[in-house]
Structure 1
């Protein structure tokens, strides 16, 4: 039995305990704390369809300015480049995946690392020992894949989870996710030779995982000859490594899809049209969406006249059989290197209140196509418009090209010259004097053609992300023009001699055709940085409202000139490579620009909310996950040899204090 004083003390104690509990509960809610369970990022684009959307919102518009480095991991990659030319071509473009509390990613030389998602401590590493002195067009790897896919119920993990990496030297390798050791029962001691029967191909993007299938494309150099390696897409059994099917974008025999759209004696011996970018999957519909590219060579199609289906197309293939379900061509008879570089984005399109399974396609021309996922039919109007004719003997440019009519056109759609000063504009004017330009899709020519948009975008391999809450499709774009000139092979020496601009330009021999290709870009490099010779902004971040069919906002992305001399360059934007990620916290995270910063923008307005300098160039796409109740944002910072950004070997994680 309690006395009155004891009862009073007990009551007061319980009241204080209740008040403290209430305060703690309110504080927990106010800071947006989340349950302690982990939220993963299990594929390159988070989901198999590449939406790059995260439901996490612990980091939001109100607190993103507090982001700080949580940990930094170094791969030691630069040591491998010594004594080789790798530094000139290497680019750390990987987006890690996060599964079971572990980050998995690949380096430019196809090494694979597993590190603790909370601490950044190494768990294991695997080195496929790629020989860097071989002829490699690119030295990069955009990531790895895990099998079974975490959201695909058709596959079983009874045999243990596997990490798949496709390498620069054309191997598909299966590793035990827990140890990093090769799965010896897969292929030959854990590896399948992708070069067998195809030649000198590489792979620079993560394979697609659907059911028990691993679907892989290929990468190869451009413009070397017309009958380049075949751009075959193949599917392998995830357990045994056995080949299940292969599909060639270029029809080789009568009856193949699009056979009659390739004209000429040599047309069916054309190479490439390969899928070097990221393949998307729809496990529910048993479909993979293949982004194909320009046939070889990129800038002369006289050996492959006609429309050229299924090159420069999005092709839906039945994953279980390898049969083509539908195809949609974004460029007819491609003469501009307008590869489908961006991952096809699988999402649900809302049209007149109805939910429709869709695929969004963003192109180097800055065109956005919204296609029905099951049929490939455009869900928004597309016009076939007349485009300029070719003046090159032996070439016949396609008479029309597809133009979306209700969505905004992105990137450099109207060409004019520009300079920081009138004198520099005069230099740009002089440079284009005598060149051909008649708007988009002006074909290459003997006198030289201005190509706008250029072959680096519009929308490039960094791709797009989609916010299902607001209906915004968000992407970063480039605005840079190129100059393409075809030189008759028999007159090549005379054309080049004493022509300094031609000597500096990139050369494509295009063997087997009458012409050699020369390519350069409308910019100049000086002590103040890179200056485009077309009006700024030169790189932007864009949000398109797909429901309204309008531009929601567009802002400059980064800078690439010395701000001490040109403070206005912050409004001029930057050439950029690498994509963006959007979160339910109302944020868009993106690096990509040449100035070496990771940034966070307001999803609804495009306003810049936070930026942080990276230890090396950030030409990669960031990702985000939750570990032990804490949200992290992670990016690979390793630079880009061809762009000249600072090289490094960093993976950097940020979180709130």
Structure 2
């Protein structure tokens, strides 16, 4: 049985939380409900400055694999602390167990996945799942199991103590998933997130390449017996009713309510993303939170966050299961943040909104043949986590005549009528962009103080529909994502709106951490996360934030930990949002951090391997920090921060940026001369 870290009980007037001494991080989301909350309190705002590096472990991929292959990786794994080990997966689905105090490797399993498949979502493994078979003898092999889905579409079961495949599961410890149709190329279909497990059933989703074709693979969710691997059920999220579409897959992590016997699925958009003329209607149950009976796959309820999605606003974050005080007593809920920056709070038994959700009119006039929904759901109680409108006035201003005019022109020339502006041949500004708001890193919830914490991203996409007659010969400019959307009258291109200087066109902050009082329906604080140190020329650390697809961890000690696109693990004061500490990493830690207790000491660990799609440096490490021991010298890799949280206002830093601007302009001129000469 999976163990749950939190028990919640209600008093007569308010919630009283009894935290069982589960001091581990046993699931990808901290617990099977994805709260990302730890009851550990050894590290506090008062002593966080004493953190030192405990160890740095390298998988060896960086030296063993070709550079061109490593450039197609994203290290997004969150280690689990189970069986006195830290257990995680590499982007190539190698499962590794480390000593939690020293980082010494204890065992390693290599499934030997194919490395010539060019997976649509890069080589990535967000994590593994732990399960204990309480029907097995205490000393039985594979009583304690690790499950993992692979980039080449296998479900693997390993003994958690040794890493040896479980011979009684599937065929020699693995199941090869049947996709049910031919693929355009081997990497069109993969598994990127950890399975969900409850009541002896393991549930697995899939990640499917976007924007290739109308008749894309379906997003069928599959369930297997966790002991034998025998199929238990399948569930097709998309209610087809004669429409032409695929997807509505579950690529993000799922959550489980063991007591109720429910598994909660965050579903994606139907195919193709940016034109839906052949899938009229709302396209239930795409873009939804879905509750199923985990033992049978029976649909209990579904709540749709976007009707007839034409913006790639799939549900990317793990649903967070918790108990909140609504002012009328405790209530078990599902908290679902979205890419748009919304937070939906739903009753766990019924899926009905706890606070009103309004259907509001949204922009119309889609491309030829489109069938947009006239309204979209808007939560009314919890404030939106990030801005949802952008105008030429929001263009980044650096120096007169350099950068701003190009950004203003891109903003002004595109169709831009606010959230849910339809994609167009003219070109449409999508803000937040398709990676915006809250992404796969998901939110964290402190059940004691009833505060939700989330990382958010702020950037704009320019989405352009390309008539079919022009698509065959279309040569996308550098940096543009191009999709044929085969079977639709339009192909598509997508690009993050950037200035000629290589900076985001919208004003900073580009990445923020937000704290929300759910009951009060108010934002408590916002704090900029990240700098340009590891992204900009000359390594200038302008504190403007960086897009944050990764998530965070909150502790009873009063801290919130997060990585970012620069190479630091950070700690923020959970009450004020003030940044208190930075721990230097070998490369950016674009993964979710976790924390655990080992031999009386609290550790904080994060996968630091970079993010190839974001253009960061690439690595292969897991780094852990702990408090300095008596007589131990301060670490060169750790520093305290003496500045308030909140928004950064550009001032004297513009002088430095002017120098960078001149350097970039000079380099670009030289590059143009070389191109002309060649």
Query: TM-score category by the smaller chain?
Result: 0.7 to 0.9
CA distance in 2, matches of 1:345, 1:458: 16
1:277 maps to 252
SS of match in other structure, 2:165: coil
Structure 1 residues 486 and 177: CA distance shift in structure 2, 3 A: same
CA distance in 1, matches of 2:426, 2:281: 24
Q: Can you list the C-alpha shifts for 1:207-239, whole angstroms capped at 9, x where unaligned?
A: 011121111100111000011011111111011
Structure 1 residues 635 and 198: CA distance shift in structure 2, 3 A: farther
Structure 1 residues 408 and 154: CA distance shift in structure 2, 3 A: farther
Structure 1 residues 80 and 337: CA distance shift in structure 2, 3 A: farther
CA distance in 1, matches of 2:323, 2:83: 28
How many residue pairs get aligned? The number is 595
Higher mean C-alpha displacement, 424-433 vs 377-386: 424-433
> Does structure 1 conserve the Cα–Cα contact (< 8 Å) formed by 2:77 and 2:607?
yes
**TM-score w.r.t. structure 1 length?**
0.87
> Does structure 2 conserve the Cα–Cα contact (< 8 Å) formed by 1:38 and 1:625?
no
Q: Can you list the C-alpha shifts for 1:141-191, whole angstroms capped at 9, x where unaligned?
A: 000011128xxx799866511111110000000111121111111101111
Find out whether 1:402 has 2:357 as its counterpart. Answer: no
1:287 to 262, 269, 293: 262
Higher mean C-alpha displacement, 218-227 vs 382-391: 382-391
CA distance in 1, matches of 2:289, 2:562: 26
CA distance in 2, matches of 1:552, 1:457: 21
1:46 maps to 30
CA distance in 1, matches of 2:237, 2:348: 19
CA drift at 1:391: 3.3
2:127 to 143, 152, 160: 143
1:538 to 510, 527, 532: 510
CA distance in 2, matches of 1:220, 1:148: 30
1:55 maps to 39
1:422 to 400, 403, 407: 400
Cα RMSD, aligned residues only: 2.0
Within-5 A mapping of 1:292-331: 292-331=267-306
> Does structure 2 conserve the Cα–Cα contact (< 8 Å) formed by 1:39 and 1:627?
no
CA drift at 1:559: 1.3
CA drift at 1:459: 0.7
CA drift at 1:425: 1.2
2:561 maps to 589
Structure 1 residues 198 and 518: CA distance shift in structure 2, 3 A: same
Structure 1 residues 45 and 154: CA distance shift in structure 2, 3 A: farther
2:433 to 454, 470, 476: 454
> Does structure 2 conserve the Cα–Cα contact (< 8 Å) formed by 1:198 and 1:230?
no
2:443 to 449, 464, 467: 464
2:616 to 645, 653, 656: 645
CA distance in 2, matches of 1:112, 1:525: 42
> Does structure 1 conserve the Cα–Cα contact (< 8 Å) formed by 2:83 and 2:160?
no
2:661 maps to none
Q: Can you list the C-alpha shifts for 1:554-598, whole angstroms capped at 9, x where unaligned?
A: 01111126789897831x21112211000000000001x221110
Find out whether 1:87 has 2:70 as its counterpart. Answer: yes
**TM-score w.r.t. structure 2 length?**
0.85
Find out whether 1:210 has 2:198 as its counterpart. Answer: yes
2:584 maps to 613
Within-5 A mapping of 1:170-181: 170-181=153-164
CA drift at 1:645: 1.2
> Does structure 2 conserve the Cα–Cα contact (< 8 Å) formed by 1:38 and 1:626?
no
Q: Can you list the C-alpha shifts for 1:388-420, whole angstroms capped at 9, x where unaligned?
A: 113311101110000111211122312022232
CA distance in 2, matches of 1:161, 1:190: 14
> Does structure 1 conserve the Cα–Cα contact (< 8 Å) formed by 2:264 and 2:289?
yes
2:344 maps to 369
Gaps of 5+ in 1: 1-36, 253-258, 260-264
